[in-house]
Amino acid sequence: MATMPAVESADLRPALRILDEMSPVTASDTIPLLQRLQEAYGYLPREVVLEVSQRTGLPASRLFGVATFYAQFYLTPRGRHLVRCCRGTACHVRGGKNVISTAEKVLGIRDGETSSDMSFSLETVACLGACALSPVAVVDGRYLGKTTPARLEHVLRTMREEAAGPAENREEST
Amino acid sequence: MSQFTLTLDGREVTASEGQTILQAALANNVVIPHLCYDPRLTPTGACRLCLVEIEGEPAMATSCTRLALPGMVVRTNTEALRASRKMTLEFLMSEHRMACTSCEADGDCLLQDYVYEYGAAERRFPSLARSEAEGSYTVGHEGIVYDPSKCVRCQRCVKICAEVSMNEAITLKGRTMDVEVSTAYDLPLNESSCELCGLCVSTCPTGALRERGAIGRGRAKDLTKVRTTCPYCGVGCQFDLCVNRKTNRIVRVTAEPGCVPNDGNTCVKGRFGFQFVASPERLTKPLIRENGALREATWEEAINLAGRRLAEIRDKYGPDALAFLSSCRCPNEENYLMQKIARAAGKTNNVDQCATTCHAPTVAGLASAFGSGAMTNSIGEIQKVQTLFVIGANPTEAHPIVGLEMKKALRNGAKLIVCDPRKTWLARRADLHIQHAAGTDNFLVNAMMNHIIAQGLHDQKFVAERCENFDAFRENLARYSLDEAARICGVPADKIRLAAEMYAQGTPSSIFYTLGITEHTCGTENVQNMANLAMLCGQIGKPSSGVNPLRGQNNVQGGCDMGAIHSVFPGYQKVSDPAVREKFAKAWGVEIPTNTGGRVTDFLEEAHAGKLKAFYVLGEDPVLSEPNQTKVIESLKKLEFMVVQEIFLTETAKLADVVLPGACYAEKDGTFTNTERRVQRVRKAVDPPGDARPDWQIICDVSTAMGYPMNYRHPSEIFAELASLTPILAGISYERIEKQGLQWPCPTPDHPGTVFLHDGRFTRGKGLMHVIHFRQPAEVPDRDYPFMLSTGRTLFHYNIGNMTRKSAAIRQKEDENFVEIHAEDARRLGITAGGMVRVTTRRGSLAVRARVAEKVRPGALWMPFHFAENSTNQLTNDAFDNITRTGEYKCCAARLEKIESPVA
Ligand code: SF4
Ligand code: SF4
Ligand code: SF4
Ligand code: FES
Ligand code: FES
User: Which atom of ligand 5 lies at the shortest distance from residue B64's CA?
Assistant: 2
Q: pLDDT confidence of A3, banded at 50, 70, 90?
A: very low
Q: Is B192 on the interface with A (CB under 8 A)?
A: yes
| b/e per residue B420-455 (b: at least 16 CB within 10 A) | bbbbbbbbebbbbbbbbbbbbbbbbbbbbbbbbbee
For residue range B231-250, what is the model confidence (pLDDT) as tens digits? 988 899 999 999 999 999 99
Number of CB pairs, chain A paired with chain B, less than 8 A apart: 48
Amino acid at B367: A
At residue B512, what is the residue type?
A: F
Q: Is the pLDDT assigned to residue B519 strictly greater than 90?
A: no
* C-alpha distance from A167 to closest chain B C-alpha (Å): 33
B315 with B372, same domain? no
Please tell me the least confidently modeled range out of B503-517, B678-692, B880-894: B880-894
CB-based contact, B173 to chain A, within 8 Å: yes
* Burial profile B194-217: b = 16 or more Cβ within 10 angstroms, e = fewer: bbbbbbbbbbbbbbbbbbbbbeeb
Both B69 and B135 in a single domain? no
Q: What is the mean pLDDT of chain B?
A: 89
Contacts with B, A 61-100, CB within 8 Å: 61-65, 68-71, 75
Task: Calculate how close chain A gets to B570, using CA atoms only, in Å.
Answer: 49
B379 and B509 inside one domain:
yes
Between residues B873 and B426, which one has the greater pLDDT?
Answer: B426
Tell me the DSSP string of B424-462.
Answer: -HHHHH-SEEE-PPTT-HHHHHHHHHHHHHHTT-S-HHH
Asked if B584 and B707 sit in the same domain, the reply is yes
Taking the CA of residue B865 and the nearest CA in chain A, the distance in Å comes to 28
Quote the minimal CA–CA distance from A49 to chain B in Å.
9
| pLDDT at B824 exceeding the cut of 60 | yes
Q: Counting atoms of ligand 4 from 1, which one is nearest the CA of A87?
A: 2
Give, in words, the CATH class of A81-164.
Answer: alpha beta
What is the enclosing helix (H) or strand (E) of B615?
A: strand B614-618
Identify any residues that bridge with B294 across adjacent strands, giving them in sequence order: B289
Ligand 3 contact via B199 beta carbon (within 6 Å): no
Write down the pLDDT at residue B901. 62
Of residues B299 and B873, more confidently modeled? B299
| Residue B819: partners with Cβ closer than 8 Å, 6 or more residues away | B837, B839, B848, B849, B850, B851, B861, B862, B863, B896
User: Distance between CA B516 and CA B889 in Å, rounded?
Assistant: 9
Chain A CB contacts of B168 below 8 Å: 59, 61-62
- Do residues B44 and B158 share a domain? no
Its ipTM equals 0.76
Atom of ligand 4 nearest to the CA of A135: 2
Q: Which residues contact B94 (CB under 8 A, 6 or more apart)?
A: B123, B124, B125, B126, B127, B128, B129
Residue B325's domain comprises 287-357+555-675+687-726
Atom number of ligand 2 nearest to Cα B156:
3
Among the candidates B526, B549, B572, a domain finishes at B549
| pLDDT score of B467 more than 90 | yes
Domain assignment of residue B760, yes or no: no
Q: What angle do CA A25, A26, A29 make, to 5 degrees?
A: 80
Return the CATH number at B844. Answer: 2.40.40.20
For residue A68, list chain B residues with Cβ-Cβ distance below 8 A.
173-175
How many structural domains is chain B composed of?
5
Residue B438: pLDDT band by 50, 70, 90 thresholds? Answer: confident
Of A50, A62, A68, Cβ closest to residue B168? A62
Instruction: State which residue of chain A sits closest to B169, comparing Cα positions.
Output: A61
Q: Does residue B111's CB lie within 6 angstroms of at least one atom of ligand 1?
A: no
In angstroms, rounded to a whole number, what is the distance separating the alpha carbons of residues B76 and B23?
A: 13
Instruction: Give the other-Cβ count within 10 Å of A167's Cβ.
Output: 11
**What's the rounded Cα separation, in Å, for the pair B683 and B225?**
11
Question: Does a structural domain hold residue B567?
Answer: yes
pLDDT of residue B204: 95
If asked whether residues B119 and B198 sit together in one domain, one would say yes
Instruction: Pick the closest to residue B886 from B364, B352, B360, B528 (CA basis).
Output: B360
DSSP line for B180-247: EEEEGGG--GGGTT-----HHHHH-SSSSEEEGGGTTS--GGGEEEEEEE-SSBTT--EEEEEEETTT
Residue of B313, B312, B334, B333 whose CA lies nearest to B322: B313
Are B553 and B799 spatial neighbours (Cβ–Cβ below 8 Å)? yes
- Write the DSSP symbol of residue B415: E
Angle at which helices B493-505 and B441-454 cross, to 10° = 60
pLDDT at A4: 47
Closest CA to B756 of B412, B216, B381: B381
**How far does A171 lie from chain B, in Å, by closest CA?**
26
Q: In this structure, which ligand is nearest to the CA of A88? A: 4
Q: What is the mean pLDDT of residues A150-174?
A: 69
Burial of B796 (0-12, 13-18, 19+ CB in 10 A): buried
B326-368 pLDDT, tens digit per residue, is 998 899 999 999 999 999 999 999 999 876 666 778 888 888 8
Of B812, B813, B809, B831, nearest to B822 (Cα)? B831
Q: Which atom of ligand 4 is nearest to the CA of A96?
A: 2
Is the minimum distance from the CB of B862 to ligand 3 under 6 angstroms? no
Q: What is the pLDDT of residue A169?
A: 47
- Best interface-test mutation with A: which of B157, B170, B171 has the largest number of A CBs within 10 A? B171
Question: Does any domain span residue B87?
Answer: no
Separation of alpha carbons B422 and B410, rounded Å? 20
Give contacts of B 506-525 with A, CB under 8 A: none
pLDDT band at A98 (very low <50, low <70, confident <90, very high): confident
| Alpha carbon separation from B641 to A9, B607, B667, B862 (Å, rounded) | 67, 11, 28, 37
User: Looking at beta carbons, which residues of chain A come within 8 Å of B170?
Assistant: 61
In a domain, B400, yes or no: yes
Total number of residues shown for chain A: 174
| Contact criterion met (CB < 8 Å) for B184 and A75 | no
Tell me which of B68-72, B174-178, B219-223 is least confident. B174-178
Report, as an integer, the average pLDDT of B654-665: 95
Ligand 1 touching residue B197 (CB < 6 A): yes
Name the band, by pLDDT with cuts 50, 70 and 90, for residue A165: low
Which of B168, B174, B428 minimises the CB distance to A61? Answer: B168
* Contact flag A49-B173 (C-beta cutoff 8 Å): no
Question: What percentage of residues in chain B have a pLDDT greater than 90?
Answer: 57
Are both B345 and B375 inside the same structural domain? Answer: no
Nearest CA to ligand 5 atom 3: B45
**Which atom of ligand 1 is closest in space to residue B268's alpha carbon?**
1
Mutate to test the interface with B, among A48, A61, A72 (most CBs of B within 10 A): A61
B764 found inside a domain:
no
CB contact (8 A) between residue B185 and residue A59? no
Do B158 and B259 lie in a common domain?
yes
Least confident of A73-77, B81-85, B237-241: A73-77
- The predicted pLDDT at position A1 comes to 40
Q: Distance, CA B173 to ligand 2 centroid (Å)? A: 12
Whether residue B199 lies inside any domain: the answer is yes
How high is the pLDDT of residue B345? Answer: 93
Q: Residue A37 — very low, low, confident or very high, per pLDDT cuts 50/70/90? A: very high
Do A64 and B169 make contact, defined as CB atoms within 8 angstroms?
Answer: no
Answer yes or no: do B415 and B519 share one domain. Answer: yes
Q: Is-contact B761 B696, C-beta < 8 A? A: no
In this structure, the number of other CB atoms found within 10 A of the CB of residue A83 comes to 26
Is B386 domain-assigned? yes
What share of chain A in percent tops pLDDT 90? 14
Chain A residues closer than 8 Å to B428 by CB? 57
A 10 A CB-CB count for B98 gives 17
CA distance B868 to B802: 8
User: Do both B271 and B291 map to the same domain?
Assistant: no
B512, B530, B549 - which closes a domain: B549
To the nearest whole percent, how much of chain A has pLDDT over 70?
88
**Cα–Cα distance, B118 to B87 (Å, whole number):** 9
The CATH number of the domain holding residue B584 is 3.40.50.740
- B53 with B168, same domain: the answer is no
Which positions in chain B touch A60 (Cβ < 8 Å)?
Answer: 183-185, 187, 192-193
- B120-161 pLDDT, tens digit each: 877 777 777 777 777 788 888 889 999 998 898 999 999 999
Helices (H) and strands (E) in chain A, counts: 7, 4
* Nearest chain B alpha carbon to A45: B185
Confidence of residue A172 (pLDDT cuts 50, 70, 90): very low
CA distance B181 to chain A (A): 9
**pLDDT digits 0-9 by tens, B831-846:** 888 888 898 888 888 8
Statement: residue B857 has pLDDT above 70 = yes
Q: Which of A32-36, B693-697, B813-817 has the lowest mean pLDDT?
A: B813-817
Q: What is the DSSP letter of B565?
A: B
CATH code, domain carrying B50: 3.10.20.740
Mean pLDDT, to the nearest integer, of B283-303?
94
Nearest chain B residue to A60 by CA distance is: B184
**Are B126 and B258 members of one domain?**
yes
Asked whether B48 lines ligand 5 (CB < 6 A), one says yes
Taking the C-alpha atoms of residue B489 and residue B505, their distance in angstroms, rounded to an integer, is: 23
Query: Is residue B825 in some structural domain?
Result: yes
What's residue B247's pLDDT? 92
